[in-house]
Structure 1
Amino acid sequence: MISDETARTVFGEVEILSAGDQADGQPPQATARVVVGADEPAFDGHYRGFAILPGVCLIELAHRTAMAALPPAPAAGRARLAAVEAARFQDPVFPGEAVTVELKWERTEDGWRCRTVLSTERGPSARVRLAYEWGESA
């Protein structure tokens, strides 16, 4: 079952807008939103005079959204991030912008893979692919 609770991030709360279980052979999906406050400390000094959210914060946002919308565990134990398989940054996120995270899950041999697209009103900001495993030492 996919959780509809919020997850706390370093820059605000992840608000799950929609979530669904795996049906008709389609992977589970979820959509979330977070507003990145203009006072977010990650903006300080990233690019002097041109504040943008560091890419690592977008990866963290993708991860926190995934943890808030986990699909059913394929094995015993707790989910853990096993790998950041890919991250492509396309457009900056500026102070005060809302970021929408759309994610799709797919089963893997060892767990789940999460493909995310993070967007602002201008369009896609990043595409991040994360791998998750389940086990005792999560």
Structure 2
Amino acid sequence: MEKDSFVDCERKRLYKVINFRLPSQFVGIGLVICVLTTAIMFFRAFAMDGGDTEWLKLLLQKTLLVGMLIMSVSKDKIEDEMTMSLRAQSYAIAFIVGVIYALVMPYVEYGVSNVVHSGGEAFKSLGDFQVLLFMLMIQLMFYHFLKRNR
């Protein structure tokens, strides 16, 4: 009997993590964070002289990812089984497309850079920010696309 209660307790914890959602007001907060961060990134790219601001670049990248994550895990105003299913589908699509992107994109970038710059360019792998940003963008776009076309 003790084993069954342990399994039930672990199952409840797992479902608590799986079903975690922020309140629907956090979508707006995440959107504001993303817009402000993107505006600061553009300002930094075009207006600043490119000094020693690598820490600012990393901070802005992480802030943008946090804003998109907040939008991704926030509830809709009307949250039902259909929206939960659509959210799960969008996460699955984002994962599959993200893995394909991470596998193919370095080769595409290598080929294009060798065509553009005739001197042999070095092969570069993708960074964590680029992959995570791409996956979150795909998840958010597909979720809203699936929700709109249900």
Q: TM exceeds 0.5?
A: no
Higher helix residue share: 2
More strand by share: 1
Query: Larger radius of gyration, structure 1 or 2?
Result: 2
Under a length normalisation based on structure 2, what TM-score does the superposition of the two structures give? 0.24
TM-score by length of 1: 0.25
